[in-house]
Chain A
Amino acid sequence: MFSEQAPPTAQGLLGPPSAEPPTFPRVPVLGYSDCSGPFQLAERSFARQYAHVYSVRLAGMRPVLERRARGLWGKDVLVRKLSELQTGEKCCVVGTLFKAMQLQPSILQEISDEHNLVPQPPLPKYIQPSDELILEDELQRIKLEGAIDVQRLVTGTILAVYGSEQDDGRFVVEDHCLADLPPPLPWNGPSSDRFVLLASGLGLGSGSGEALLGTQLLVDVVTGQLGAEGEQSCAATISRVILAGNLLSQNTQGRDTINKARYLTKKTQAASVEAVKMLDEILLQLCTSVPVDVMPGEFDPANYTLPQQPLHRCMLPLSSTYATLHLVTNPYQADLDGVRFLGTSGQNVSDISKYSSMDDYLEILEWTLLAGHISPTAPDTLGCYPFYKSDPFIITECPQVYFCGNAPHFQSKLLQGAEGQRVLLVTVPEFSTTQTACLINLRDLTCQPITFSSFGAEDED
C-alpha cells in the first residue's frame, strides 16, 4: 500500500530542526507512450451523416462477435443476416441494438410546432417499462423479444443474439452475447512500487472554499511538501498524475452572456476565466514535480462531442512551459511504465446510466468493457464526431487499467478474463465533493483511495 515504509519515521518531524533534510528524487518515467492517436481529430468535417458510425462499428465488431457466437453456441451455428432469416429457424444474428424509448428526448418533438410542447427537462433516468429493443443490421431491423434484458441494454451496442424469427416478424431471443474482453496485452509492468494518481472533478471556480484546501493538500502531497520523511519518500514513487476531467466546476458554465442583455454583461468575464487561471497555478505546482496528464471533461473548455480534444495550450500559459504537462484527449489511452491505461472523464458512463437500469458506475464500466466499446450510446444520446472510416471507441486491446472519472464514489475491481486478461476497473470519484483521489500501484494493479480533510466551522468527529 502507499506509504508502507512511512510509519517508522512518522513522528520524525516533531523535533528540533535537524541537519540538512533529505530530498528524494522522483522516480523517472520508465516508459510513456501516448496511444490516443485515434482520438485526435485531424480534419473535422461535420458534413457527413452519423449513420456511417454505426456501419463501421458493426463492420468492425462483427468478426469478434461471430467468433464469440461460434464459441458459445457451437461451431456450426448459423450466422445469418436479417435479410436471410427464415421463420422458425434457429440462428444467430449480429447487429446493432436500438432501444425505442418513449422518454428519450427527441429533437424532432421539441421543434415540432404542432405539439407546442415545452422541451422535456433532463431526467435522471429515461427508462420505462414500455421500452423496446430492436436489432438492426446493415439492411433491416427486427424487434427483439425473449430472454433479453430490455432495461439493461442501451442503444448502439453491438451484440449477437441467438434465437428464431416468429411468424409475426418478431425475433424471439434465447440467448445473447456481447463481444467480451478483447485480447490481452503482454504485461510489462514495473517490478517495484510505482504509483499513478488519478483524480477528477477538481471543480475549480465553484466558489466554495473548502474544496480548495483539499486540492492544495493533494498538490502538496504529490509534490512532497506534506508529510514526514517516510511519506515524502513514498510520494516520490508517484510517477504520474492523471486528471480525468471536470477540472472546472459546473458553475463556470453559466451562459449569462446569452440570456442577459449585452449592456449587463459587457464588462464581465466568464466565470471560467478565473477558474482556468487557478487551474493553471495548480498545474504549475504539480508540473514542477511530476508529469501530469490533463483530460478535458464535461465542464471544461473543450469541445462537446466525443472524442474531446485536448485543452488548448494557451489557456495554461504558466504550466504549459513545462515538458511534464501533457494535455490529452478525453478517451485517453496510454502506456504508462508498461501498463496500458484507458479511461474517460465519465460522460460515457453517466450517459449509459441514464438510459439503462444499471446504476452502479463500476458495473457500467465493466459492462462497457465486456461490450467492447467505450461508449455505445454515442452518437445517439452522447455527442460524437461523425466517424466514417473506423470507430475509435471500439476497444481492440484489453487495457490493464480502465477508469472513468467523475463518479459519485470510489470503487475499484480487478477483473480477470478468460484469456488471462487482468483489468483493474476504477471509478474515480469527484474530488470537489468527496475529496478523494485514487492511487494505483502499477506493480500489482491495486488501487487505494486517498482522502483529504480539513477542519471546518463545525466540529467533525
Chain B
Amino acid sequence: VTYKWLSHTLGVHVNQAKQMLYDYVERKRRENSGAQLHVTYLVAGNLLQNGHVCHKIAVVREDKLEAMKSKLSTIASVHVYSIQKALLKDSSPLYNTDYDIVKTNLHNCSKFSAIHCDAAVRRIQPDIPRAQTSLQGSSQRESDTDALRTPTTNGHGPLAAKHPPQPQKGIMGMFAAKAASKPQDTNKETKAEAPSVSTASSKPPTKNNIIKNFFGKAAMNKLKVNPVPEQPKEEKEVVKPSVAVAEPESSPNPVVEKPGKRTESARIQQKDRKSKMKHVDRSDNEEETDPENAKKKRKRIKQLESDSSDEEDVPPSPTPEEEKALSPPPAADLKTELEPASMEVSAGGRKRKRKRVLKSKMFIDKEEGYMGKAG
C-alpha cells in the first residue's frame, strides 16, 4: 500500500494519505498487536556530493531511515511512502502498485496532487484531429520501408500542420469523439508494414458530418485496421484509423475533381480500404485479424446495405487483384478503382463522379497494365 495508491483509492489529497498511513502505523504499533508492519519512508534533503550540494530524494526502508537522515545535511521532507506486511526485497512492488493505480486513472493523476497547474488544459478538439489527419497525409507521402516507423514527415511536418486541408476538417469531430483518447495502436502496430505512398487517389473528405455519422455507427475500433504487410505490388496501404479520408494523391487532379463527395463515397471508400486491407491481411494469413475482420465486414455490410452503390462483400482472395477480378459487376466500377496501384478513391456515390475519377485514373491504370473500365 503506497500513499499514492491510498490517495487514489480513497480519493483524498496525497498529503492526507501520507498522514493516514503514518497514523495507522502509529496506532498499530501502540496497540502492540502481533502483526509486524514494514514501513518505507521517503526522505528528501540536501547532501554534499562531489562538491555539489545535491538534492537527494530516496525511498528507504525503516531501518535505514535514521542512517539516511544523518547523511543528509538538511532534511527537506520525510513522510511515509508505503506500508506492507512483508519485508520488501526491492522497490519493484512499490513501483508496480503505483504504476497500476496511475494507469487506471491516467487522466486524473494530478487530481490529488499538491500542485495544480492552470495551464494544463486539454487542447480543443479541432486541433487534435486536424493535426492527426494532416500528419497522416504527410506520412503517407513517405515511401520509406523502415521496420521502425519513423514519424518524420518529409518536409511536410510544419507545413502539414499549417495548411489544414480543409476537407480534412471533417475528420475533426469524428476524431474528437473517438481517437483522442484511444492509444493509437495501429500506428504502432503497423510497424512491419511500409507506410507507403499510395499513388492513387485521395479522398478529399468533404463529408464531415457524414463521416461522423458513419463512424458513429462503426466503432472506431473496428476501423483500426490491423497491421498490413507490404504488398508485392505497389499496392501499399497506409493503415491508419482515419485512413481513408485523408490521402493526398500524387496527382492533384483527382483531388480537385472530387470536391463534392458524398457520404456514400466516403463510406464506400472506407469499406474499400477496409476490405482491401482485410484481404491483404488474409493474404498474409494473419489469423487473429480474421475473425475481427469478418466481423468488421459483416457490420459494414449491414450498415451500407441501404446504399445502392455499395459494393458487395468481396470474397477473400490471395491477392488483391484477384479479389478485384472477382468483384461483382455492380461493384466492378468501384473495384476497378481499387487497382493495384493504390488505395483508390472509390467513386461511390454518383456514377458521374465515378466516371470522372476513373478517367483521371486512366493513366495509372494503363501504367499498371490493367485497363480500367470507364465506369
Contact = CB atoms under 8 A, between A and B. Distances in A.
**A joins B in a complex:** yes
B175 to A, nearest CB: 10
Nearest to A459: B64
Given A42-B158, A231-B77, A273 B115 contact: no
B42 A255 contact: no
B132 interface: yes
Nearest to B188: A273
A455 B91 contact: yes
A454 B96 CA distance: 14
Nearest to A7: B74
Contact of A314 (B16, B20, B187): B187
B326 interface: no
A13 B110 contact: no
A255 B147 CA distance: 8
9 A-B pairs closest in CB distance: A312-B151, A224-B115, A228-B77, A257-B147, A6-B76, A13-B79, A454-B91, A26-B117, A21-B15
B22 A14 contact: yes
Contact of A270 (B13, B88, B184, B191): B191
Contact of B131 (A2, A22, A236, A313): A313
A317 B95 contact: no
Contacts of A324: 117, 119-120
A289 interface: yes
Nearest to A313: B131
A396 interface: no
Interface string B115-139: 1111111110000100110011001
A285 B187 contact: no
Interface in B169-212: 179-184, 187-189, 191-192
B218 interface: no
B86 interface: no
A318 B106 contact: yes
Interface in A126-173: none
A454 B42 CA distance: 9
Contact of A321 (B4, B16, B122): B122
Interface in A217-268: 217, 220-221, 223-236, 255, 257-258, 265-267
B14 interface: yes
Contacts of A314: 131-132, 135-136, 151, 184, 187
Contacts of B7: 225
A1 B46 contact: yes
B115 A26 contact: yes
Given A40-B158, A448-B52, A288 B75 contact: no
B192 A289 contact: no
Contact of B115 (A25, A267, A276, A455): A25
A354 to B, nearest CB: 25
A97 B148 CA distance: 37
A315 interface: yes
B325 interface: no
Given A313-B132, A454-B59, 5 more contacts: A42-B159, A213-B91, A285-B109, A321-B128, A322-B123
B80 interface: yes
B22 A288 contact: no
B85 interface: no
Contacts of B99: 212, 216
A248 B318 CA distance: 38
B98 A318 contact: no
A460 B180 CA distance: 44
A74 interface: no
B18 interface: yes
A315 B151 contact: yes
B94 interface: yes
A48 B139 CA distance: 23
Contact of A11 (B78, B139, B159, B284): B78
A301 B23 contact: no
Contacts of A310: 157
A166 to B, nearest CB: 47
Please classify the interface of chain B as helix (H, G, I), strand (E, B), loop, or mixed, using the class held by over half of its residues: mixed
A449 B148 contact: no
Interface in A273-317: 273, 276-277, 280-281, 284-285, 287-291, 301-303, 309-315, 317
A121 interface: no
Interface string B9-50: 000011110111011001000000000000010101110010
30 contacts: A6-B77, A7-B75, A7-B76, A13-B77, A15-B19, A17-B19, A18-B16, A25-B117, A26-B117, A212-B95, A227-B57, A228-B15, A232-B115, A236-B115, A266-B192, A266-B229, A280-B183, A287-B120, A301-B148, A301-B150, A302-B150, A302-B152, A311-B151, A313-B132, A314-B132, A315-B187, A317-B184, A323-B123, A450-B56, A453-B58
Interface size class of B (residues with CB under 8 A): 35 or more
Given A15-B19, A216-B99, A454-B58, A227 B79 contact: yes
Contacts of B64: 455, 459-460
Interface residues of A, number: 106
B76 A23 contact: no
A335 to B, nearest CB: 17
Interface in A192-233: 209-210, 212-213, 216-217, 220-221, 223-233
A318 B183 CA distance: 7
A402 interface: no
B232 to A, nearest CB: 13
A73 interface: no
B95 A273 contact: no
Contacts of B106: 281, 284-285, 318
A13 B55 contact: no
A346 B232 CA distance: 40
Chain B CB within 10 Å, residue with most, of A10, A265, A302, A454? A454
B371 interface: no
A451 interface: yes
B15 A13 contact: yes
A18 B57 CA distance: 24
B113 A289 contact: yes
B95 A213 contact: yes
Given A21-B16, A216-B99, A322 B122 contact: yes
Contacts of A315: 151, 187-188
Nearest to B88: A455
Contacts of B362: none
A412 B54 CA distance: 12
A400 B26 CA distance: 50
Given A273-B191, A288-B110, A309-B152, A26 B116 contact: yes
